[in-house]
Amino acid sequence: MKLYKQIILFLFFTCISAFSEVNNISTEMGDKCGTFLSLEQRKHILNSLCNDSDSNGRCIQQKTFPSSSGKFLIHYDTIGKNAVNLEDVDINGIPDYIDSVAYYFDYAYKVEVDSIGYLSPSKDNGHGGSDAYDVYVFNLGDYHVNTEKTLYGLTETDFQINTQRKFKCFTTYVLIDNDYSPYDSTITQSGDTVPTFTETGIMAMKITAAHEFHHAIQLNYGIPEPGTRSLNEMTSVWMENRLFPESRDYISYLKMLFNNLQRYPFGSGDETVGYKYGIFGQYTYLRYRDAIIKRLWELIGCDITGYKALDSAYKEQGTNLVNEWCNFLPWIYYTGNRSKDSMYFPSAYEYPEITFFSVRNFSSPTISDNGFLKPFEFRAFRYLLPSEQNKSDDTLDIIVTNTDLRTAIEQSPNDKPFNILCANSQQTGTRQIGDTRYYYSMTVNEGYIVDSLFFSSGTIFYQSSAVFPNPFKTSLHDKLYFPVPENSITGEEVILKLYKTDMEEVFNTELTVSVFETYKVSILDEIPSALTSGIYIFSISYKDSKNFGKVVIIRD
């Protein structure tokens, strides 16, 4: 019963792939996939889920069912902790869920092997009862023994093949969940109970089949050294969208990436990074269809290391990884409200927008930012540039990235420095930003840092000739908006003074010029207690200019 099932730990995405030769754990709350668990951990998981094993260490389950193609054998239970729902609408003697598992693994094979042309996973010498590829159905979603990850699925290695190869290759089998129930839950490290799956039901099973089957394919090509697990997970996450574009589950990874670009340098080779960059797989597909990603794995199958293989795949198409990475910059910028119809990602309007590393108002005469970037790391900055014209601030958005391919290939740490400068007068090495009075430059010690600038002119606004709301009622309103002199500049300060009708000054403060809707104003966020009900005369001073008016305050 659901109430008595054990609860598992939090993780946000579609599967776990466990590779025999990898002994380190890399976990992150928010990923639903713990790839590359240690051999010891995987044994612990399997032993906890499996009641009995055969001589090859494979779990013995109560039932098996071959897929229509005969390429897959589905192992499942009808009673006990791993039991599937026995509903059988088509009355064929097989639970509908198992029918669906068989169908969608056949579909994954049809697209990934028959259509795209990847190698089929090697046969396993009859392990699991036949030469068909084995899929085991367990109650992974309510699994509580593994305190690091919740599991959508797991691709387990069986035995090594092609032993003459530099990169190790394996036969494999897959574990998936028995229902992907919305009621399966997880206890996070903070003690909160949350749903295990962000995608549930048949859709969760479908994308897990696409994801895990591609891990099986990858292990047939080999595990590159030095390790670039980021490419394993980038490809498998992308394959979910490739087979099932109606799924939006990968957007949960995109939110994590866009909320903290600098945390996920694509060149690090870590699998937690790879999940986030399924979007780069989509970018590559939209430009080159399946050719690049497929060729990546074929070159890995020729013992070429991960990032070098990806670069070589691009070169065969007349480009290279660095060029494509730079071309990728506007694709990740023009999302959400910034998306452009028929340009970049077709569903870009559904995507989140990148979060800026810093957002700064320009302060005369210059502002600057600097730091160090890891290989293929993004970092985004926003500068708000006050306009001397009758409009809101201009906006300069900057994305910088490190294109040091050699370091990514060798997987050796070598961060690169950069320095950004924005000035209100031309200086050595700067260039003008649009037709504004501002200038920009970026200096680097080496030539690996690339920047991309996105400039937006401010919105034209109008002068307000009156304070609003007027009268101001404390029961209805919380802010007073005062008109500012026409020559005032957003972001700069004005002086507000309020007088009684006999011209006795009762209030004096500095306010910042800002924009409300289409009006340039200064805003009094809190009405001081000294302003009792009555009529007041106000003045707003900016340099040698002043605005005057009357406002009625009603405390009710």
- The length of the chain is 556
End-of-domain residue from the set 432, 456, 480: 456
End-of-domain residue from the set 338, 367, 388: 338
Give which of 105, 292, 359 is closest to 208, Cα–Cα: 105
Domain residues for the domain of 407 are: 356-456
The reply to whether 333 and 478 lie within a common domain is: no
pLDDT value of position 252? 87
End-of-domain residue from the set 424, 456, 488: 456
What does the DSSP 8-state code read for residue 113? I
Return the SS3 of 97: helix
The reply to whether 427 and 510 lie within a common domain is: no
Residue 462 CB coordination number (10 Å): 11
Residue 200 lies in a domain: yes
Q: Is residue 489 within 8 Å of residue 430, measured between CB atoms?
A: no
The reply to whether 251 and 371 lie within a common domain is: no
Return the SS3 of 290: coil
Run of H or E residues at 291: helix 291-300
CATH number of the domain within which 532 lies: 2.60.40.10
The reply to whether 303 and 268 lie within a common domain is: yes
Residue 506 lies in a domain: yes
* Number of domains comprising the chain: 3
Q: Is residue 375 within 8 Å of residue 411, measured between CB atoms?
A: no
ω before 528 within 30° of 0 (cis)? no
The reply to whether 317 and 391 lie within a common domain is: no
Contacts of 278 (CB under 8 A, 6+ apart): 233, 234, 237, 238, 240, 241, 250, 253, 254
Sign of CA dihedral 48, 52, 53, 58: negative
pLDDT value of position 188? 66
The reply to whether 201 and 334 lie within a common domain is: yes
Q: What is the pLDDT along the chain (556 residues), one digit of tens a residue?
A: 333 333 223 233 333 333 333 333 233 444 565 446 667 777 777 888 898 999 998 999 999 999 999 999 999 999 999 999 999 999 999 999 999 999 999 999 999 999 999 999 999 999 999 999 999 999 988 755 444 566 789 999 999 998 889 999 999 999 999 999 998 877 766 777 778 788 999 999 999 999 999 999 999 999 999 989 999 999 999 999 999 999 988 888 999 999 999 999 999 999 889 999 999 999 999 999 999 999 999 999 999 999 999 999 999 999 999 999 999 999 999 999 899 877 899 999 999 999 999 999 999 999 999 999 999 999 999 999 987 665 668 899 999 999 999 999 999 989 999 999 999 999 999 999 988 999 999 999 888 999 999 999 876 555 566 888 999 998 888 889 998 888 888 888 999 999 887 778 999 999 998 887 777 889 998 888 889 999 998 989 898 888 888 899 999 8
Residue 136 lies in a domain: yes
The reply to whether 394 and 515 lie within a common domain is: no
Give which of 279, 347, 275, 293 is closest to 14, Cα–Cα: 275
The reply to whether 404 and 519 lie within a common domain is: no
Full DSSP string of 501-539: TT--EEEEEEEEEEEETTEEEEEE-S--TT--SEEEEEE
The reply to whether 387 and 508 lie within a common domain is: no
The reply to whether 437 and 466 lie within a common domain is: no
Give which of 439, 416, 417 is closest to 369, Cα–Cα: 417
Determine the residue type at 151: L
The reply to whether 37 and 169 lie within a common domain is: yes
The reply to whether 360 and 471 lie within a common domain is: no
Rounded Cα gap, residues 88 and 444, in angstroms: 65
